[in-house]
Chains A and B, each alone.
Chain A
């Protein structure tokens, strides 16, 4: 019995110290998030000091208030909502960090209520992680998937949200695009993706070159013909097959049918 108690005390002590260690780690992570996201000199100052935006350190904020402001932003000020800009762990971490700047030694670092479904990004590994990078790789300019597709909170939603992920790179290249039509306007024909057709105007994407241009056509000025010479394979021509396979791995991990 005595031994058991001793063990229990040790276990509790261990639990407490694990918890303390966890808080310390989360706060450290929050410090890093704060440095690159909030302490931008023109916004908040380093360690919550004053700068272009108000001082955050030693303001007597409670954690609930910090949580609310970080997630929702402050209307009509430069303070944006970070609920989807940061991953749930980063949100919790930065909120905890700002709490420590306000004298809260042991901030709540639980993930309860953290983030929402749209911002939950699964942890990606291997090829899927490589695919995620390739999907929106800046060095590719307008020759990247994210020029026309929004996935995981990045990219421009020119195309409708992905519903089904092709099985292979070959399938991805040969993708049928029945929504792309041929538009004739002002003596010129172009591949178009129609967004809306209303009395006042037809709104469409001109897919002649990347990036797609959203254009408005006066009533009657755009003639639509089914079919187009536009091919998905040209849009993704900057990727090789191995890269396309990695991108498909990524899409399979994040696109929920």
Chain B
């Protein structure tokens, strides 16, 4: 009997593990923002591989016609149909094999007095609908077949909260779940879930707990009201554990903590919960299951809103259900995704001045905090050792592929009072290049178990496009000069490159239609926010804007 229990437990464990590992990759479809709900950005397709990638050629292109900003969306592909959204929320359904338009939907122009940047990082598809967020803070559902409006619901008055939605929503079972922006303003961030069929509110989870809730005691006075923490990107989901994972944003005010941190707070413990954290929520109820705060008292604008990569790996002799999570500082945490237990960490930027290091149990050591009234040089910058563009993980190499930027900023804090929905960064932070460097970014391959860098390919400017890994042992990404290229996943050697005519700030995907593998990339340099900041460092460069989807495949007949 006992033997039987052990045996069945082993069998069950093996099955669960196998499920998790299988579910991480995409195949013919690219159904979610991060590829699968595990956010690997890894395709199991290997038709295009290291031996034939040099023959890769454009199969079709699609000009969106919306040139207000660049195309940053991750295209979603389901059953041979691609769904893509532009900066001004023009949504297209395209035949993924040919680029033929099936339908389009244009969200009405947003009044010019609505604050926020135009930009949209993707749609979510599920329950026969296409979901997206808008600049004026609506979640919108279209009929997947016709593109007709099914429902729309306002999440918050953008004029009051100074918040909106640029992230792709996420569908989990019968809910569409969305994070918002606003954490650099006087705002209290949250994640909201709506019923996919009716649009009715399912739950809302506030990043910053209110009075009487656990964690509220980590805030000074009533600073929780405008504590920031906006989770402005897209989460991940583990169906076996039924846990939803999301990264949360920086505390507000960003660079001045006197109003929000209780005097004498121990910064080796949680401060200003649940900002700059990874949280695991019950997707059915929105209840918090566990949290791990990566940057207690985040005074560098190192928000942790980035993607959460779910993977199963042998760590110190034991198979772990783990997650990888990088925040803007480039410090990447390896946690047990069932419990939030700290398993390890590694830091990707080569120039780091914000902390001296991390202890065995994950505590930050030697905090270099900006001081009121003077400029403190901090590396990496608030633009991030990585920006919001995603990493990719390949189970074949076991490496996490990371676009790393080496920038610093001189932070001078100020103490403007909070004014709801208005800027509450409370600091000046001009960007600069680190002294003595000739290259300002690199694509890296990191082994998350050993915390060692396997290879690194330097690049002279910045890198702000996502990574795509494939079973063909290729890693795809693009640069601001317009090159879209493939690296050997094992060595980092460049195997192929194509000049797409405009800079890259989006996220490439891979999928197949009728047995033919495609690699699709959005193009167009980002003309505001970090794109513009980065470009201001290189005034002699003319990185072209645009909004075109470029799709590659091997030539017909060559397969």
Q: Do A and B bind each other?
A: yes
In the assembled complex, B536 has its CB within 8 A of some CB on chain A: yes
Interface positions of B from 520 to 559, Cβ below 8 Å from A: 527-530, 532-533, 536
The number of chain B residues with a CB under 8 A from chain A is 53
Which residues from B are CB-within-8-Å of A85?
113, 115, 159
Interface residue stretch chosen among A102-110, A138-146, A237-245: A138-146
In the assembled complex, A136 has its CB within 8 A of some CB on chain B: yes
A42 to B388, CA, bound (A): 14
B206: nearest residue on chain A (CB-CB)? A141
Question: How many residue pairs at the A-B interface have CB separations less than 8 Å?
Answer: 126
A136 to B529, CA, bound (A): 29
A46 to B409, CA, bound (A): 14
- Most chain A beta-carbon contacts within 10 A, residue among B112, B159, B204, B529: B112
A41 touching B118, Cβ below 8 Å = no
Contacts A35-B416, A53-B528, A215-B199 given; indicate if A40 touches B160 (C-beta within 8 A).
no
B149 touching A36, Cβ below 8 Å = no
B153 touching A214, Cβ below 8 Å = yes
CB distance from B54 to the nearest CB of A (A): 38
In the assembled complex, A77 has its CB within 8 A of some CB on chain B: yes
Which residues from A are CB-within-8-Å of B113?
80-85
In the assembled complex, B151 has its CB within 8 A of some CB on chain A: yes
The number of chain A residues with a CB under 8 A from chain B is 47
Which residues from A are CB-within-8-Å of B424?
36
Which residues from A are CB-within-8-Å of B115?
80, 85
A45 touching B428, Cβ below 8 Å = yes
Which residues from B are CB-within-8-Å of A32?
416
Which residues from A are CB-within-8-Å of B154?
147, 156, 211
Q: When the two chains form the complex, which single residue of A37, A83, A138, A156 contacts B423, counting CB atoms closer than 8 Å?
A: A37
Q: When the two chains form the complex, which single residue of A36, A52, A80, A153 contacts B532, counting CB atoms closer than 8 Å?
A: A52
Which residues from B are CB-within-8-Å of A89?
none
A156: nearest residue on chain B (CB-CB)? B154
A215 touching B528, Cβ below 8 Å = no
A36 touching B118, Cβ below 8 Å = no
In the assembled complex, B184 has its CB within 8 A of some CB on chain A: yes
In the assembled complex, B201 has its CB within 8 A of some CB on chain A: yes
A52 to B416, CA, bound (A): 21
Interface positions of B from 115 to 157, Cβ below 8 Å from A: 115, 117-118, 148-157
B532 touching A156, Cβ below 8 Å = no
Interface residue stretch chosen among A19-27, A56-64, A202-210: A202-210
A133: nearest residue on chain B (CB-CB)? B420
A52 to B188, CA, bound (A): 24
B160 touching A154, Cβ below 8 Å = yes
CB distance from A103 to the nearest CB of B (A): 22
Which residues from A are CB-within-8-Å of B530?
42, 52
CB distance from A140 to the nearest CB of B (A): 11
CB distance from A143 to the nearest CB of B (A): 11
CB distance from A13 to the nearest CB of B (A): 35
In the assembled complex, A50 has its CB within 8 A of some CB on chain B: yes
Which residues from A are CB-within-8-Å of B112?
73, 80-81
B533 touching A52, Cβ below 8 Å = yes
CB distance from A227 to the nearest CB of B (A): 22
In the assembled complex, A49 has its CB within 8 A of some CB on chain B: yes
CB distance from A73 to the nearest CB of B (A): 5
A76 touching B68, Cβ below 8 Å = yes
Question: 9 A-B residue contacts at CB 8 Å?
Answer: A36-B416, A52-B529, A52-B532, A52-B533, A73-B112, A78-B117, A78-B528, A136-B157, A206-B200
Q: Which 7 A-B pairs have the closest CB atoms?
A: A213-B199, A40-B423, A81-B112, A46-B428, A78-B528, A36-B422, A215-B151
Q: Please report A residues at the B interface, Cβ cutoff 8 Å.
A: 32, 35-37, 39-42, 45-46, 49-53, 73, 76-78, 80-85, 136, 138-139, 141-142, 146-147, 153-156, 201, 206, 208-216
